[in-house]
């Protein structure tokens, strides 16, 4: 996810599929498919790739795309800004 392609920067089963403007990344985890689908993960830069700190966004890439379209490209998995 960062710098060189070594396990020091995250699990070998994580693949970055999108780089976000705030330096966060969207990741697909291919280690444990669920019903043949791979979950997407919020690879936020503050987590420093501690797998336990990175939360699942959706159960599959297709679900991620559907939600992105529904929310017009906004980061739907983040809490809305406080008023």
Report the number of distinct structural domains present in the chain. 1
What distance in Å separates the CA atoms of residue 36 and residue 55, rounded to the nearest whole number?
A: 20
Q: Residue 61: which domain range?
A: 7-70
Residue 14 has pLDDT above 80, yes or no: yes
With respect to residue 82, please indicate whether it lies within any of the assigned structural domains.
no
DSSP three-state, residue 58 = strand
Q: Given this model, what pLDDT does residue 20 score?
A: 80
Give per-residue pLDDT as tens, 26-45: 899 999 898 999 999 988 76
Q: Given this model, what pLDDT does residue 59 score?
A: 92
With respect to residue 35, please indicate whether it lies within any of the assigned structural domains.
yes
Q: Given this model, what pLDDT does residue 1 score?
A: 47
With respect to residue 61, please indicate whether it lies within any of the assigned structural domains.
yes
What distance in Å separates the CA atoms of residue 54 and residue 52, rounded to the nearest whole number?
A: 6
């Amino acid at each position: 996810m960062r710098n060189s392609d070594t396990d020091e920067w995250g699990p070998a089963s994580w693949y970055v599929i999108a780089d976000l403007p705030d330096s966060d990344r969207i990741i697909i985890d291919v280690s444990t498919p669920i019903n043949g689908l791979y979950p997407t993960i919020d690879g936020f830069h503050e987590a420093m790739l501690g797998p336990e700190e990175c939360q699942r966004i959706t159960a599959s890439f297709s679900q991620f795309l559907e939600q992105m379209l529904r929310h017009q490209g906004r980061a739907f998995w983040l809490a809305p800004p406080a008023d």
